[in-house]
Amino acid sequence: MRTEGFTQIMSLFPAENRNAEFNALRLKIRRFFEFQAGPTDAADLADETISRVAARLAGGGEIESADPYYYFRGFAVNVLREYRRQQPRTVSLDDVERSAAVPVAPNPLELAVERENRAENERRLECLRKTLAELPPENRELFLDYHQPRAGTREAGRLALAERLGIDVTALRNRITRLRKKIEQLILECLGKM
């Protein structure tokens, strides 16, 4: 892990409880991997994720999200994909029979974390809906059009949107960036009221 990147990670947290906040973040990432890949490799995968974020930050990357976990989770998803690609794809019948014979009880802690994550996601989604509803119609339509999945490439769709608005793609991206920051701020205000 690059030292400068790790230093940048640690600077994301308030000085008075920096280690505790970092450990809580690492635990959340580890729980993600435990749920997705099983407990045996979760710690290694969490450390690999933190190393990659540190390398990105050392290379000039920035975390723009208010909650750094979502930035780390993006890296964790990629680490998980690579991990799954490396896993053997075949399973022997003996393993299937043994695993079917031993029922696995759900871990209450994992269930509680999953319920908490679902509740948090529902709150965020509700705030996003409220925020989009409160935007002026032209901003809402622009934001939704920009993020609308289309046939063909994403860039071709955005180029067509820029042409329709009579601006270049860079101006469109700048407009969307400003709008996205405004939406993020409104969502955070909404979450603070809930």
Q: How far apart are CA 93 and CA 90, in angstroms?
A: 10
Number of domains within the chain? 2
- pTM given for the model: 0.44
- Please report, in angstroms and rounded to a whole number, the separation of the first and last CA atoms in the chain: 38
Q: What digits encode the pLDDT tens for the residues 32-87?
A: 888 887 777 888 888 898 888 888 888 888 777 777 888 888 888 888 888 888 87
Q: Which amino acid is at 19?
A: N
Q: 80 and 139 share a domain?
A: no
Q: Which residues are CB-neighbours of 170 under 8 A, at least 6 positions away? A: none
Does residue 37 sit within a domain? Answer: yes
Let me know: does 170 contact 118? Beta carbons within 8 Å: no
Is 162 within the bounds of a domain? yes
- For residue 184, the enclosing domain spans 110-193
For 93-124, the pLDDT digits (tens) are 665 555 555 566 778 888 888 898 999 899 99
Residues 139 and 178 both lie in one domain: yes
Which one of 88, 120, 140 terminates a domain?
A: 88
96, part of any domain = no
Distance from C-alpha of 33 to C-alpha of 110, rounded to nearest angstrom: 11
95 belongs to a structural domain? no
For residue 11, the 8-state DSSP code is T
Count CA atoms within 13 Å of residue 42 on its CB side: 15
For the chain, the helix, strand and coil percentages under 3-state DSSP, each to the nearest 5: 80, 0, 20
Same domain as 122, residue 83: no
